[in-house]
Amino acid sequence: MTADLSVFRFDGADLRTLVIDGELWFVAVDVATILGYSATSAMTRTLDDDEKGMQILHTLGGDQECTVISEAGLFSAILRSRVPSARTFKRWVTHEVLPAINRTGAYVAPQTPEQRMAAAVLEAQRIIEARDAQVAELTPRAEAWDELASADGDFSVADAAKMLARAGVETGPQRLFEQLAGIRWTFRGRDGKWRAYASAVSEGYLTERPQSHEHPRTGERVLDAPQVRVTMRGVERLRIRFGVLRPLEAVS
C-alpha cells in the first residue's frame, strides 16, 4: 500500500513526510541528507525498531520501498547530528512542518512515552526560544529547562533509562533502579519490590502507580506493589546530576 506524501523545502532540500495510522513519519534519506549523516543507515542503525520502518512511496521512478522514521526517531537523529544547521532544522520542523500538518487534521499527537518526552522537550525549547527574543539575559538554559521540566507526565523506569541512555548516561532499567537507590530516591520494601522515598515523590521526581491483579482461583482483586515511575522533572534532574548536558545543548 502506497502512502501520500507532503513535501517541504529546507535550505534547498526536500523533506518528505507522511501520516501513517495518525502518526507522522519522515523519509529517512531526506532527514539524513539534511542532518549531514554519511549515509541513511548511519542514522537509522541507532534508532529503535519502533522508530523506523519501511513504506512504499510514490517516486519519479515509480513506487519504491523506502525507509521512514517516526517523530521520535527524527528527534533522536537531530540530537545526534553535529552539523551547525541542526538547531535551525529543529526549529523549522517544530514551527513550520508540524503546524502545517496539524492543520490537515490527519496527524494526532504522539502517544508513546518516548514520543511524549520528545514532544515535551521540543515544546520546552520553543518556550525558551521565545524568551530569548524578549529578554537580553536569561537564566542559564539548564535552569530554565529545570523549571519547565515540572510539566505533567511520568514514565516507567525502563523508559526513563532509555531516555537517559540516549542523552549519554550509562544506564539501563536494572542499573537505573540501583542508581535511584544510591541517591536515596528508591528503596526495596520487605517484599523485595522497589518503593519510592516520600522525599523523592514530594520533590516531584518520582511517582507510584497502583497495581493489582485478579486472583486466578477466587477472582478477587489483589493489590500488588506500586510501580515506581519517573516524572519528566525527575528524568532531567538525573541527566543533570549525572553530569550529561552536551546532547541537549548541541541543538538548543
State residue 104's pLDDT score: 63
> Helix count (H) and strand count (E) of the chain?
12, 11
pLDDT tens string 97-145: 887 777 665 544 444 555 555 555 655 555 555 555 544 443 444 443 3
State residue 247's pLDDT score: 39
The secondary element (H helix, E strand) that includes residue 226 is strand 221-231
Q: Which residue has the higher pLDDT, 81 or 132?
A: 81
What is the Cα–Cα distance from 201 to 229, expressed in whole angstroms? 10
Mean pLDDT of 222-236: 86
The boundaries of the domain holding residue 29 are 2-105
CA angle, corner 146, sides to 142 and 148, nearest 5?
120
Same domain, 90 and 143: no
pLDDT tens string 202-212: 998 999 988 87
Cell numbers that stand for 64 in this block? 519504491
Same domain, 240 and 121: yes
Please give the model's pTM, rounded to 2 decimal places. 0.44
Same domain, 98 and 147: no
pLDDT tens string 157-186: 988 888 888 777 888 888 999 999 999 999
